[in-house]
Structure 1
Amino acid sequence: MANKKLSDVNLYDLLGISIEAEQAEIRKAYRKRALDCHPDKNPDNPQAAERFHELSKALEILTDVTARAAYDKVLKAKKAAELRTKQLDSKRQKLKEELEQRERAALHKLQAGQPYSTVRKSDEEVLQEQIERLRREGSKLLEEEQLAMREQLKRNYNEQRQQQQQAPAFDSTQHRIKIKWKADKSDASNGGYTQEQLMQYLKKYGEVVALVMNTKIRGRAMVELKTREACDMVLAYEKGNPSNPLHFQWVTPPAHEKPAMPMTTAGNTSSRDYEDLVMRKLRQAEERKRLIEQMMKEEGND
């Protein structure tokens, strides 16, 4: 709003309220819109910061009785002038504009020759004085609203972190994905897919832990991706070669995952913890060795 005159901005439309709105409705509308464009929430968006400033100025003016009265007077006069202008034809409108220019020139001349106190102030000048008063005095209500908003953002952030910490860990060894495509038994090209080509399609979604081609049945493979997000994106978006599309399906869908075990602190790490880690790594390696056997079993049941 730094580059705009307040008389050119409809503060009620900015907040999405009517001109008859009560103070409680004004504050509610401000919270709803300002929360989305708060600078803390959009640190790299200068437009969001400007919008937040505009909304704050609207709250400040419309919740002050005197400032709001001055603003309403300017706003109503502007709307009435716009309505009159629409009703004038082009010739009369030109005459009207010339008359207004002469009136402004005469007023300026009068102000230059007389003490300012003897000249009647325009509605916009009265509004500007009110805005300057608010700037000097500060708005306690605006400070309260912005403090409450910062507290709300902080609570939202803490809740999101808590939800992330409580979210169940994704065990990639338990949730592999089958891959199918068309390939005849006698097709030496395996439908146009090699392990390297499949890897190119899959690795852009995240780390590929293991990828195994079925050497006995053409057009079959199995992949283990490290993260749930990578799995979801592959299932949703990857099609491979359009002339021979890939089809993906969970071997075991991650319907109910168990929460991850609490991590031990460095001070509590013992030889038992280390042994558990080694055994877990060995079990994972053994699981990957059984990957082909599991895939064969799944294919045999199709």
Structure 2
Amino acid sequence: MSAAKIGDINLYEILGVEFEAEQADIRKAYRKKALECHPDKNPDNPKAAELFHELSRALEILTDISARSAYDKVLKAKKAAEVRTKQLDSKRQKLKADLEQREKDASYIQSYSTVPKTDEEVLQEQIERLRREGSKLLEEEQRLMREQLVRTMLEHQYAQAKTSCDSSAHRIKLKWKAEKDKSNGGYSYEDLTIFLKKYGEITALVMSKKMGSALVEFKTLEAAEMALTYEKGRLQNPLHLEWVSVPGVKVANETRGSILDYEDLVMRKLRQAEERQRLIAQMLAEDEAEG
């Protein structure tokens, strides 16, 4: 981007800081806005990448002493010119425009001489210098911002996974004696629901095609443990309950891990919904084969 175009943009307004803002305030404002408009968080917004680029350019220029000084001169000159222009009538504005055009033409013709550089030219030199050298501060800020973005997204996914998928670890298989008749040993879907729902919310209950077998999944570990401990079903034909897979360490303890721990946990949680369907299908297939 050329100095002329940058001079037409108020970098302070893009970052939402005052003209006299300190570097610390500028960096803080950049982090906040960059996280909000990062393209990864706004895949459906075609302007997100452009705004993110503008924020990065603003940080790069305003945190470099020489570049900021050159930019401030251009910005002040632009504002002063705007004020003067508003004070002129239409005829004088035409004369002013003609005069400025002649000055530009003369400047172009005499460019080989030792004519003092304009504010725009000085700013352009600073921009080109930053482009050549690269901004270590910008690179560091973007690295920190990316880490924060990843951490925020993973923690959000983790929270969603924890609330929506934890029940996949609370599966219990039920068995009872059943003859090959329609009574299924005296247990129906409605009967099992009545027996089990008193311990807590049931997220899934599947009756096997094979008589005398079912699979139940509770929303909470506490409900599953209570059912496993206390439920006996009908006295004349008791229920036998056992874990499909014994729960391991509680999820709450896993929150102390690093970013990689979060990522691993999130991926496992997101796969559990699919795994649930697979286990149910497998159980039904095994029961069918045994029958």
- Normalised by the size of structure 2, how large is the TM-score? 0.57
Unaligned runs of 5+ in 2: 168-202, 205-218, 225-242, 247-278, 285-291
Q: Residue 60 of structure 2 aligns with which residue?
A: 60
1:46 counterpart SS class: coil
Deviations 1:214-269 (A, max 9, x none): xxxxxxxxxxxx99xxxxxxxxxxxxxxxxxxxxxxxxxxxxx635979849xxxx
Q: CA deviation at 1:166?
A: 1.8
CA distance in 1, matches of 2:64, 2:128: 13
- The percentage of counterpart residues that share the same residue type is 64
Alignment CA distance shift 1:53-1:79 (3 Å): same
Q: Residue 32 of structure 1 aligns with which residue?
A: 32
CA distance in 2, matches of 1:134, 1:3: 12
Letter in 1 for 2:87: Q
Deviations 1:5-60 (A, max 9, x none): 00110000111111000000000111111111112222343310000000000000
CA distance in 2, matches of 1:3, 1:126: 9
Q: Residue 43 of structure 1 aligns with which residue?
A: 43
CA distance in 2, matches of 1:170, 1:127: 57
Unaligned runs of 5+ in 1: 172-225, 228-256, 266-272, 279-302
Letter in 1 for 2:68: R
The answer on whether the counterparts of 1:169 and 1:258 sit within 8 Å (CA) in structure 2 is no
Q: State how 1:1-302 maps to structure 2 within 5 Å.
A: 5-111=5-111, 114-115=112-113, 118-167=114-163, 258=220, 264=245
Q: Residue 254 of structure 1 aligns with which residue?
A: none
1:5 counterpart SS class: helix
Letter in 1 for 2:110: L
CA distance in 1, matches of 2:3, 2:45: 18
Deviations 1:54-112 (A, max 9, x none): 0000000000000000000000000000000001111111111111111111111112x
Alignment CA distance shift 1:108-1:99 (3 Å): same
Letter in 1 for 2:95: L
Alignment CA distance shift 1:51-1:263 (3 Å): farther
1:167 counterpart SS class: helix
Q: Residue 262 of structure 2 aligns with which residue?
A: none
The answer on whether the counterparts of 1:35 and 1:149 sit within 8 Å (CA) in structure 2 is yes
Letter in 2 for 1:66: S
Q: CA deviation at 1:119?
A: 2.1
Query: How many residues matched?
Result: 185
The answer on whether the counterparts of 2:15 and 2:30 sit within 8 Å (CA) in structure 1 is yes
CA distance in 2, matches of 1:141, 1:55: 13
